[in-house]
């Protein structure tokens, strides 16, 4: 069989916590209600120190969002972008920055994956 006979589409978006995890790993910033939802869905752990909040991603977060070798296809970027839009993605998520949030190392998605996904979010309709 030829690899061209197969199409990989990521269906982890069906899992609780995927949207919160993906939003944080894609944008690097989330509002308080998303932090709370992420903690409840066990994709984030939060450490507060005064006004500052450090967000650590969990193994569950990684299992829901970490790209696999098969994730780096145009079809999969378009699929994940459509799922994000269907679940409420808005362009202002990419502009939202919070100086009170510190992310642990490795919290953001792979840079190549992030850039391609953002490009597809800009051009994909639901």
8 A C-beta contact, residue 71 and residue 22: no
8 A C-beta contact, residue 49 and residue 24: no
Q: Tell me the per-residue pLDDT of 14-59, one tens digit each, with 9 for 90 and over.
A: 999 999 999 999 999 999 999 999 999 999 999 999 999 999 999 9
First vs last C-alpha separation in the chain: 32
Q: Tell me the per-residue pLDDT of 59-103, one tens digit each, with 9 for 90 and over.
A: 999 999 999 998 999 999 999 999 999 999 999 999 988 999 999
8 A C-beta contact, residue 8 and residue 78: no
- Higher-pLDDT residue of 26 and 105 is 26
pTM equals 0.90
Tokens of 16: 């609780």
Q: Which of 110, 19, 102, 93 is nearest to 55 (CA)?
A: 102
Q: How confident is the model at residue 4 (pLDDT cuts 50, 70, 90)?
A: low
8 A C-beta contact, residue 14 and residue 98: no
Helix axes 18-27, 74-86, angle to 10 degrees: 110
pLDDT at 1: 45
d(CA 61, CA 38): 9
Does residue 7 register a pLDDT over 90? no
pLDDT at 3: 56
d(CA 104, CA 95): 20
């Amino acid at each position: 069989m030829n690899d061209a006979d197969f199409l990989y589409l990521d269906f982890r978006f069906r899992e609780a916590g995927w949207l919160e995890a993906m939003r944080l790993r894609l944008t690097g910033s989330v509002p308080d209600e998303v932090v709370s939802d992420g903690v409840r869905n066990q994709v984030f752990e939060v450490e507060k120190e005064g006004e500052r909040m450090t967000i650590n991603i969990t193994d569950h977060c990684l299992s829901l969002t970490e790209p696999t070798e098969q994730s780096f296809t145009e079809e999969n970027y378009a699929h994940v972008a459509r799922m994000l839009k269907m679940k409420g993605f808005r362009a202002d998520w990419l502009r939202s920055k919070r100086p009170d949030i510190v992310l642990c190392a490795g919290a953001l998605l792979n840079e190549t994956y992030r850039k391609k996904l953002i490009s597809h979010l800009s051009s994909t309709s639901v």
